[in-house]
Amino acid sequence: DAGVIQSPRHEVTEMGQEVTLRCKPISGHNSLFWYRQTMMRGLELLIYFNNNVPIDDSGMPEDRFSAKMPNASFSTLKIQPSEPRDSAVYFCASSRSGARHNEQFFGPGTRLTVL
Amino acid sequence: AQKVTQAQTEISVVEKEDVTLDCVYETRDTTYYLFWYKQPPSGELVFLIRRNSFDEQNEISGRYSWNFQKSTSSFNFTITASQVVDSAVYFCALLPRRDSNYQLIWGAGTKLIIKP
């Protein structure tokens, strides 16, 4: 089975540009999570979707960040406009619904560098 | 407070040695879940194990074993006969039951270096 798929794997952009990160969760998983990982803050949960509906976006740093899940097999995380402090590795993870404690399976991450 | 502490920032051992990664957690809940994840140099996070607070049996999976001790709030991870491929950052995480969300509380990670 394919795992969580993320694209692009690497993104280098200039400050002020729009960045869109993409995620395809594992088929059959109804929960999707976006995380950001930095050396300073470790892993931070940005937003959580259940059955395509955003349940909690309290981790989204500011209005420049937005996330969508138009269907069960696709989600995007958009940063507009991007800033150098947004440089990080962004992970998407998915898990089966039904129990909060179901393990989350992570994608390979997108390494974002904003110059 | 709900917290996970991985006091060992970095551990370096020679291949074939046994190594234990410590994880100490704090939670006010009586029901909770603990996880270990591995992050190899390639960067992805790999799920290793989930344990619920009512199951204190130790778990063994090949060269990996986990020791869950509620009395000391610890969930330590031991690699026996370590191999170079075990080199990675290992994260311990806690999912409290009472909180209405699903947000994992992550430790800072322990970087494990296995030297040939």
Which phi and psi (to 5°) does residue B43 adopt? 105, -20
* Percentage of residues of chain B with pLDDT beyond 90: 71
When pLDDT is cut at 50, 70 and 90, the band that residue A101 belongs to is low
| pLDDT the model gives residue B102 | 66
The tens digit of pLDDT for each residue in B67-95 reads 999 999 999 999 999 999 999 999 999 98
Q: Which two tokens stand for residue A31?
A: 């929960």
3-class secondary-structure state, position A38 = strand
- pLDDT over 90, % of chain A: 73
Average pLDDT, chain A: 92
User: pLDDT class for B1, splitting at 50, 70, 90?
Assistant: confident
* Chain A environment of B44 (Cβ under 8 Å): 106-109
Q: How confident is the model at residue A100 (pLDDT cuts 50, 70, 90)?
A: low
Kindly tell me if the per-residue pLDDT of A97 is higher than 70: no
Q: Do A101 and B95 touch (CB under 8 A)?
A: yes
Q: How far is the CA of B66 from the CAs of A5, B70, B76, B86, in angstroms?
A: 29, 13, 6, 15
Mean pLDDT of chain B: 91
Q: Which chain B positions have a beta carbon within 8 Å of A55's beta carbon? A: 101
* Chain A residues 79-98 with CB within 8 Å of chain B: 89, 91, 93
Average pLDDT over residues A1-23: 94
Q: Please tell me which of the candidates B91, B101, B104 has its beta carbon nearest to residue A56.
A: B101
Residues A44, A55: Cα–Cα separation, whole Å = 16
* pLDDT 10s digits, A62-92: 899 999 999 999 999 999 999 999 999 999 9
Find, among A77, A24, A27, A69, the residue nearest to A51 by Cα: A69
CB spacing of A106 vs B46 below 8 angstroms: yes
| CA A89, chain centre distance (Å) | 9
Query: Cβ distance A65 to A76 under 8 Å?
Result: no
pLDDT at residue B101, as a whole number: 56
The SS3 assignment for B112 reads strand
Question: Residues A109, A38, A100, CA angle at the centre, nearest 5°?
Answer: 65
